[in-house]
């Protein structure tokens, strides 16, 4: 004769199933967020934030800057400004950079 599970057993298994579903949903959302971030990066990578055109990389001394051929915007990566300012005392790189800015 089959034994009917108690209400506490039923509740325990419902909670376990719910936890498993929530864990699976959280994992799916995390995977989707990573994929969306990758998609957005690929869509905007090396495009001008002002006008959207493809950026061109130009070398000025030791610094490689991103220049927009459309709006003539100049974009620096994380350490490029520090490198440019640090080399200001040596002159040539900073002067070249200032020519880009029109100064």
The full length of the chain comes to 103
- Domain borders along the chain are 1-45, 56-101
Q: Alpha-carbon distance 74 to 67, whole Å?
A: 5
Q: Where are the beta strands (DSSP E) in 1-103?
A: 56-60, 63-67, 74-75
Provide CB contacts within 8 A for 77, sequence distance 6+: 66
pLDDT, mean of residues 18-33:
95
CB 93 within 8 A of CB 84: yes
Q: What is the pLDDT of residues 88-98, one digit of tens each?
A: 656 566 666 66
Q: What is the pLDDT of residues 52-72, one digit of tens each?
A: 889 999 887 778 889 999 998
- pLDDT class of 51 with cuts at 50, 70, 90: confident
Provide CB contacts within 8 A for 85, sequence distance 6+: 94
Query: What number of other Cβ atoms are within 10 A of residue 60's Cβ?
Result: 21
pLDDT of residue 14: 95
Residue with tokens 């869509």: 43
Residue 6 three-state SS: coil
Question: Which helix (H) or strand (E) covers residue 66, if one does?
Answer: strand 63-67
Please tell me the least confidently modeled range out of 57-61, 78-82, 84-88: 84-88
């Amino acid at each position: 004769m089959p034994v009917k599970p108690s209400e506490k057993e039923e509740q325990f298994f419902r909670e376990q199933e719910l936890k498993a579903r929530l864990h699976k949903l959280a994992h799916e959302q995390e995977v989707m967020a990573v994929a969306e971030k990758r998609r957005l990066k690929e869509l905007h990578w090396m495009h001008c934030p002002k006008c959207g055109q493809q950026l061109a990389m130009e070398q000025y001394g030791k610094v490689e800057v991103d220049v927009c051929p459309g709006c003539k915007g100049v974009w620096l990566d994380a350490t490029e400004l520090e490198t440019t300012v640090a080399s200001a005392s040596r002159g040539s790189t900073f002067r070249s950079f200032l020519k880009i800015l029109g100064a």
